[in-house]
């Protein structure tokens, strides 16, 4: 008699782009394995509205964005706990039958885990395994606190070897995987790189981008990649004309933009989950540069530091309404590839998660 297949639950608050994209990508990869019985991806939309409004308020102005601290009191306050418990209840509404199957739970935001801060045994009763994806180069402070409180029932999933070592030294038993936002990339994807990957991708933030910044970012992208098309995703869908622009500015959907990222020569955005995609491309030998806007919060600062260490970041500054370049000496392509390859994990996330579920 064959063993019963486990069930799978993935949840994500609909805030920004990075976390929802991470959840959907990983969920799709796990479903494709055919190793799960019931499968469900649940999105929280109503309980996240206060957090969504706060994010947009803090990131829609460059002045506020410079002062914005992702790990501020809001994430660790009683309000955050209340909203987290609300998110969990919204996500579980109507899913009692799936919970009876004691599914494996994959989530990309720590907030719903507040439901279990005073009762971690209940977490183990409801779920076979719990995995918290870390889409940045290091967990946010609030996520770290919850990982300590709920250890050993929550497994943090990371993609950088240095992050893995840090969390391992904290006895949090992390899982190291390959960057999971570009699952179909292989080394063979990058044969004839120069001929095949010569466009730029400009992406606005899902949390909001300062007014008037996108045209400047497109122009900066064209200055480092002249005479090539630029694919731009802007949440505000603004239209404008850049003088002397002989190549089109193409405006695809968000899904199309993520598909384009894996083949881009230049990516221009905030240093958010884009860091994962750029690291994947570089580690496989692809030629990539990231035009990085000033980071918003410590998590983006850490991401930018990582990209600079690899030599694939071109940091941008914004002063007096102008977008400019910092001087940046970069290593040669071979050195960049070697550094990136040595920095990131290599095991596919679906494989890594299934191993743990099967061994439990």
DSSP 277-331: HHHHHHHTT---EEEEPPP-SHHHHHHHHHHHHHT-EEEEEEETTEEEE------
Query: Which runs of consecutive H residues, i.e. helices, occur in 151-210?
Result: 161-169, 193-196
DSSP 104-125: EEEES-SGGGGGGTT-HHHHHH
Residue-level pLDDT at 69:
52
What is the DSSP-derived secondary structure letter of residue 7?
P
pLDDT tens per residue, range 130-168: 999 998 999 988 899 999 999 999 999 999 999 999 999
What pTM, to 2 d.p., does this model score?
Answer: 0.89
pLDDT tens per residue, range 203-257: 988 777 777 788 888 888 888 888 888 888 877 655 554 555 556 677 888 888 8
* Neighbour count for residue 134 (Cβ, 10 Å): 25
pLDDT tens per residue, range 257-312: 888 888 889 999 999 889 999 999 898 888 899 999 888 878 888 999 999 999 99
Helix axes of 161-169 and 333-343: crossing angle, nearest 10 degrees: 30
pLDDT tops 70 at residue 194: no
pLDDT tops 60 at residue 74: no
Whether 7 and 39 have beta carbons less than 8 Å apart is answered as yes
SS3 135: coil
pLDDT tops 90 at residue 14: no
- Provide the pairing of β-strand 322-325 with 313-319: antiparallel
């Amino acid at each position: 008699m064959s063993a019963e297949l486990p069930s799978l639950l993935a949840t994500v608050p609909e805030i920004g782009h990075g976390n929802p994209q991470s959840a959907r990508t990983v969920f799709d990869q796990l479903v494709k394995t055919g190793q799960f019985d019931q499968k469900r991806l649940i999105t929280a939309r109503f309980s996240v509205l206060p957090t969504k409004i706060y994010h947009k308020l803090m990131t829609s102005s460059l002045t506020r964005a410079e002062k914005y601290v992702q790990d501020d009191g809001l994430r660790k306050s009683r309000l955050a706990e209340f909203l987290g418990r609300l998110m969990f209840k919204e996500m579980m509404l109507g899913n009692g039958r799936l919970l009876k199957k004691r599914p494996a739970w994959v989530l990309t935001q720590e907030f719903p885990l507040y439901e279990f801060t005073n009762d971690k045994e209940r977490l183990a009763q409801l779920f076979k395994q719990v995995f918290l994806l870390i889409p940045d180069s290091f967990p946010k402070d609030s996520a770290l606190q919850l990982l300590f409180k709920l250890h050993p029932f929550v497994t943090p999933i990371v993609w950088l070897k240095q992050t893995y070592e840090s969390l391992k030294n904290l006895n949090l038993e992390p899982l190291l995987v390959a960057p999971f936002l570009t699952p179909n990339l292989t080394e063979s994807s990058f044969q004839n790189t120069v001929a095949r990957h010569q466009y730029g991708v400009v992406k606005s933030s899902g949390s909001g981008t300062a007014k008037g910044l996108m045209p400047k970012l497109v122009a900066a992208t064209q200055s480092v990649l002249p005479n090539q098309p630029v694919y731009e995703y802007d949440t505000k869908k603004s239209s404008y004309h850049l003088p002397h622009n002989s190549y089109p500015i193409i405006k695809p959907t968000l899904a199309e933009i993520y598909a384009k990222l894996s083949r881009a020569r230049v990516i221009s955005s905030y240093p958010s989950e884009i860091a994962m995609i750029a690291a994947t491309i570089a580690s496989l030998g692809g030629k990539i540069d990231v035009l990085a806007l000033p980071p918003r919060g410590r998590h983006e600062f850490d991401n930018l530091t990582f990209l600079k260490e690899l030599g694939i970041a071109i940091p941008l500054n914004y002063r007096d309404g102008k977008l400019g370049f910092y001087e940046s000496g970069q290593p040669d392509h071979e050195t960049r590839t070697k550094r990136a390859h040595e920095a990131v994990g290599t095991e596919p996330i679906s494989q890594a998660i299934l191993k743990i579920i099967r061994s439990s």
